[in-house]
Structures are given as structure tokens and as C-alpha cells.
Chains A and B, each alone.
Chain A
Amino acid sequence: MSQAVLKVENLHKAYGAIRAVAGVSFEVMPGEIFGVIGPNGSGKTTMFNSVLGQIRPDSGTVVLNGRDVTRCGPLALSRMGVGRTFQTLQVFGKMSVRDNLLVAAQEHQGSMWGRMFAPGDSGLGAKVDALIDQFRIRPVADARAGTLSYGQQKLIDIAMAFMSEPALVLLDEPCAGVNPSLVGSIRKLLQELNRTRGHGAHPCSFVVIEHNMDFVMALCHRIMVMVEGRVLAIGTPAEIRANKQVLDAYLGN
């Protein structure tokens, strides 16, 4: 069996008396789409932010491709091939869609001083165009990102996370506030990205936090259910659906 891309062991994070994350452990395999579900306040985003270096966990380890990255910040993790999206929209509103995608990958090329003299598109024009076509945002490619609809911005937000060809992408509620037809499009896009980038020498794995059950069940290979900062169950969508504890605690009947 191949080595896990991401290995989280016994992660803890407390805010005063509130134990937001209380001993979470899981592994994400190469090319896998790993879903994280759980009620509001179950610690999903805190777990995400601890893994991504946005906040420092109280204890536990985060290992990326065999390397301990527990104390690494978001910048170092990005440079090591970890992409992410946030729960709320985070595009650069005053920049064009194209520039949003360029800035999402340019810092992964060459040295900082080299970039001072590099061409404006850092030689990434073809890659940007390919992603623009894949995400079907060509008509708005030169518009300012901040002037676009919520759904379009959501697509750009997701596309940005994939620009630097990361080994692992963590998506925090990619379907929040998105209409049902776009939810379907996002699912197809992620499946397509998983098909094209999930194999080969540098496969890309996804971790997805989401409340939309149909989306998670259709997209993910394995799902982790979190309740009150702990892991309630990890399994395939079929196993999770059949798990009585999960049904009682979260999914209902």
C-alpha cells in the first residue's frame, strides 16, 4: 500500500474550556477524495485550520508525504503543495479573473528576485487558459473578480486552489450558498480534476468539508464524520449511510 499523502494523528485544539478538536486522527491516500461531515460546531473548520497552519494545534501531529508539518504556517504549506479554499469567498476582488489565477501560482515559480524581472504572466498563460476552459469561465476571464456573481466567484475560488498543481487540496464548503445546478457542476468539475490529476507520478488528493449530503456521498471515496470535536466514524459513503451511530447523531432518518 502506498504512503498516505496526509496523516493527522491525535490532533487537539481547545479554546478555553471548549474542546473544538479532541483527538482527531485520519489518513488521506494519494488520489483520494476524503469528505468531512458533521453538525455545525463539530470542529471541522478548526481541524482544517490546524492542519493548514492557520491556527496552532495544542497537540498532535500533521504529516504531509512523510514529513512532519505540524508547526508549518500556511505559506510553507502552500509551497509544499497544499492548496485550499475558505468557507467564505476569498477572491481578489479588484483583480481580473485571469490575474487571480496567475497570482495563485506565480509564487511557486523561481525565486522572488527572479520574479521581479519575469513577464507579467510568469509563463503561466497556457495553464491559466486551460483552467479557464475547464471551469467554463472564459466569458468573464478579463472581468474584475469582485464584479461577478457569487457562483462565478466560487468557481474562481476553487480554480485558484488548483493553479499551482498541488498534491493536496482542502476545500471548505465548496457548495455553501450555491444553487443546485451549480452544485452539480462543481461536483463534476472536482470528479474531472480527480480523474485527470488523481493518478500518475504526482496525484492530487482532496479533503472536502461539506453539508450537502448528496454532494458528499456522490463525490467522496471515504467520509469522516465529526461530532463534538471527535471522530465518530470513517468509511465509504455506503458504510457511513448504514452506520447507526452516524444516523442517530447527524444524518437522521
Chain B
Amino acid sequence: MKKSTLFLLALAAVGLLVLPLYLKGYGVYLLSYWLVFVVATMGLNLTVGYAGQKSLGHAAFFGIGAYTVAIAMKAGISFWFGLPAAALICFVVGLILGFPALRVQTIYLAFATLGFNTAVWLLMRNEEWLTGGTFGINNIARPQLGGLSLDGNLAYYYFVLAVALLMALLLWGLLRSPWGKAFTALRDNPIRAESLGVDTRSYTLLSFAIGAVYAGIAGSLFASLVQFIEPAPFTVGASIMMYLMVVVGGPGYFFGPMLGAAVGVLLPEWLRFAQAWYLFVFGAAVVLLMIWLPDGLLSMPDRLRAKRLARQASALRAASVGVPGPRA
């Protein structure tokens, strides 16, 4: 984690502060929607991209966050209690979901987490007394900050932006600390990591728990943004979509989720001109991207640098062959 990351983050923040002034209501709403998914996928990037744990259950945490805030607010409890409660619940449930990862990995872990997502989704659909079932929960209010109403799209956008920036800064700090290296070591080679004293058990569990907190907070923001929730946005399909966002942006790249969520949330909007074909175009674009850039969009500079270094090395080799040595 370099200091330049922080500079880029500050630059992005300035851009995002100014951008909505040039957009209409729906544009601002879409930007907020994107930021919510940036927060969620930042967490998934920690779990999948940095720690290497294949999780297909992220939308479940997103849903737990959303329903926690919605149910709390319907019961007259403030959003400001609902939000930390959602984070805490997600941390605990994330920790529990981490346990299968201590026994199984790769595709088997993906299926275990997928099963978890299905179970949570069924709870949301079937427990009508709590969640409203398929009818969902209506009229979720937007919070007030001090005396300031966050009811308007622009005000709420700035609130979401502030939370997203705070979460990004916290993640940056975490990845810069020894924890960041421990997560990467766990991903690259868990057996070697353990032999060097890295407590792979704890880091595996924490990668799930912290990732889940990000999803829970994103879910809370989501509930108040869309103001109506039902089980549909929290299916396994949504988890796969979030995973796709991480992979498209570049797993293990700090800005990967920003780009990935843009592809997942904003690109379909831009492709609306294609109408019924937009999913086809989107799908085809993803296929092409995975063929040419399997490590995601942000791996492009790395690939170009590796190519340049390889060219330089072969030029050096050619030069050393071409020029006779002292004993030739």
C-alpha cells in the first residue's frame, strides 16, 4: 500500500464532490448506488482479492445489513443505532461463515458460502413477520444528521460518499499495516505462511468478518437509498455479480472495486440504448475482458510494465550476443 494510493483517493474524492453538481436527480441517485456497491465490494476484495477466500455469500451480508436497518427503523430505532448494529451482526455472522474456510478451499468453499447465501435469502423470503416476505419493507426513511436532513438525493449522496471515503481510508490503513501482508501471504501460500508464524486460522476468519462488515454497512446505506427492500437484491445471483465486480476491477488492487462496481452498476445503464440486448453486450464484454485481462482492468499497467521489462531484457541479451566479448 503506497502513499500514492492515498493521493489518488484524495483526487477521486475531489472529483466525486464536484461531479453531482453537473448531474440530474437520477444521475446522483445512480452515483450513490455505485458508491454503495463500492463499499460492499471493497469488503469482498479484502476477502477474495487480498486474503484469497472464494466467497459467494457476500450478498447475504449486504441483505443482513439492509434488513437490520430497515427493521430497526420500522421499530422506531434510529438509523445511527441500526448502522453499527448491522456492522456488528455482520462481523459475528462473517466470523461464523469463516469456519468452513478453515476446512475447505477454492470451489468447495465457494459452494459452502453459496449455500449460506441461499439459506439467508430463504429466511428473508419466508419469515414474513420479521422481513415482510416477498412484499418487503416499504417507506424506509433516510436518516437525519444532527439537524440536517439527508432526505434529498444530493444530501444522501454526500453522506454515502463520506462513509465510502471513511471505509476506503480504514481499508487503506489496514492493508498498509502488517495485517495487509499477512492476508496476502495467506492468499499466496497458506502452508508457508503458517510455517512463518502467520496465524492463518485467525486471518481467514477475520478476512470474512471484516469483509462482511463492509457489506453490512453498504446494505444499511442501500436500504435508506432505495427506501424499499425485498429479498430479490440479496440472492446468490447478486453475490455472483459482486464477485464479478471484484474480478473485473482487479482482485487485490485497492481501486479494483471502484472500477468493478462502475462496470457492474453504471455500464448497464449506459448500455440501455441496446435495450433487450444490453445484457448480451455486457456478458460479451465480460467474456472478452476475462480472456485478455484475467487479473482485471487494473492489472493492465502491471502487464504493460512486465512487457516493457521483458523487451528490455531481450534487447540486453541481443546486445550482449551481438557485441563480441573480451575473449571472443
Contact = CB atoms under 8 A, between A and B. Distances in A.
A156 to B, nearest CB: 12
Interface string A112-148: 1001111110100000000000000000000000010
Given A92-B189, A94-B184, A95-B185, A107 B179 contact: no
A19 interface: no
A86 B177 CA distance: 27
A122 B176 CA distance: 11
A116 B196 contact: no
Contacts, number: 92
Q: Which of A54, A86, A106, A116 has the most CB of B within 10 A?
A: A106
Contact of A106 (B174, B181, B191, B195): B181
Contact of B179 (A73, A74, A90, A116): A116
B76 interface: no
A153 to B, nearest CB: 12
B177 A120 contact: yes
A102 interface: yes
A116 B189 contact: no
Which bracket fits the contact residues of A?
Answer: 35 or more
B197 A164 contact: yes
Interface in A51-67: 52, 54
Contact of A95 (B174, B177, B181, B191): B181
B177 A107 contact: no
Contacts of A106: 178, 181-182
A62 to B, nearest CB: 16
B188 A92 contact: yes
Interface string B166-181: 0000000010111111
A88 to B, nearest CB: 10
A138 to B, nearest CB: 18
A99 interface: yes
A120 B198 contact: no
Contacts of B185: 92, 95, 103
B176, B177, B196, B306 — most chain A CB neighbours (10 Å) = B196
B202 interface: yes
A78 B181 contact: no
Interface string B230-269: 0000000000000000000000100000000000000000
A86 B192 contact: yes
B192 A115 contact: no
A74 B194 CA distance: 6
Interface in B55-101: none
B200 interface: yes
B176 A120 contact: yes
B155 interface: no
5 contacts: A52-B195, A54-B191, A90-B191, A105-B196, A115-B177
